[in-house]
Amino acid sequence: MATPAALPPLPFNPSRVRSYLVRLPLFTRLVLLVILAFWLLELQTMWSVVQWGALIPDEINLGTSTSSPQLTTYCLGLDLDLGSLTDWRNLVYRLNTYPLIHTGFFHALLNALALTPLLERFEAEHGTLTAIALFVGPLSTFPAAIYLLIEKVILHSNTSVVGSSIWVFLLLGSEAIRTYKSNPHFSIGFYGISADHFISLGPYKIPTWTSPLFACVVLSILVSNVSFLGHLCAILIGYLFGLGYLKFLVPPEKILRWIEGKLNLLGRLPHYISVDQKTFGRYGVLPSSNNAANGNNGTPMSFLGTNQRLGA
């Protein structure tokens, strides 16, 4: 009697995927949970989560609002209107909510798949508290501020931005700079046809730091509604972070250790990465971590993002 044919192997190993998910650090888990929560909220029809939390230039009217109370200041004899308290609250929460909100299930899923390995590696290398301080802060607000400046002041447009692809391209930019320090170029060769045989064209040496820019361009060509400008702003901040120009934003380890010891975070919070557990901790980079620290693992190139035009 013939035995039934064996089932084809799965494209991934479920046990390895489960083991990877179980090892995810705390902040990465929280980000994924918040992305899921916002997507579930979007299923209701009473109010639009995207409209509420997206980065929409026309929804930010600092200095142009007539509502009260107003924030005013006097500088060199000039009466400067800084906008209302409502305008400032609107700005502050939108600068931090837009990377966590997505326009649909597949948008949220693909962005989460692209973000998870990058954010998990960042948290492992810098610690949980540092990751929280940077991503709930300058690594979200700086790309948004540059985007608003260009979109609202220079282009006079109202293209909204949502999605964690901003973080994806920011981390890709940082990884590309680190890869460039250890592997400045990658070579690409082409083959052409002469009269009777193949001829080699190249190889051409391309700087590795340009890889996020290529990814940004390709994604913009393949997907029509992505935020090309938003991704460029994120890559710029990622480059600055990778080059060390934003190092002053990282909280001092002395303060972090004091907070961790005072609150006993390592003992109370599962999957928490302390200052001394991170890759670049008190005792430096371990020999087994040198390859990863020098960027020899390459630059992850999973990416996806979107934007939409609201109120235009």
CATH number at residue 169: 1.20.1540.10
pLDDT at 298 over 50: no
| Rg of the chain on CA atoms, in Å | 23
What average pLDDT does the chain have? 79
- At residue 109 the predicted structure's pLDDT band, cuts being 50, 70 and 90, is very high
β strands within the chain, DSSP E: 70-75, 78-84, 159-162, 185-193, 198-207, 306-309
Please state, in angstroms and rounded to a whole number, the distance separating the CA atoms of residues 53 and 50: 5
The answer as to whether 137 is a domain residue is: yes
With cut-offs at 50, 70 and 90, classify the pLDDT of residue 194. Answer: low
Report percent pLDDT > 70 for the chain. 71
Which candidate in 102, 107, 126, 231 is catalytic?
231
Q: Is residue 16 part of a domain?
A: no
Is there a catalytic annotation at residue 48?
no
The most confident of 5-19, 120-134, 191-205, 296-310, by mean pLDDT: 120-134
Letter string b/e over residues 223-253, b meaning 16 or more CB atoms within 10 A of that residue's CB: eeebbebbbbbbbbbbbbbbbeebeeebbeb
pLDDT per residue as tens digits for the range 41-75: 999 888 889 989 899 888 876 544 444 444 444 44
Tokens 């837009």 — which residue? 98
Q: Which of 200-204, 243-247, 307-311 has the highest mean pLDDT?
A: 243-247
Domain count, the chain: 1
| 14 occurs within a structural domain | no
Predicted local distance difference test score (pLDDT) of residue 191? 56
Q: What is the pLDDT of residues 74-97, one digit of tens each?
A: 444 444 344 455 666 777 788 889
Q: Which amino acid is at 3?
A: T
Catalytic residue among 140, 164, 165, 211: 165
Evaluate whether residue 6 is within a structural domain.
no
Q: How far apart are CA 98 and CA 91, in angstroms?
A: 11
> Is 8 domain-assigned?
no
In the annotation, is 165 catalytic? yes
**Residue-number span of the structural domain to which 270 is assigned:** 23-309
- Does the residue 135 lie in any domain? yes
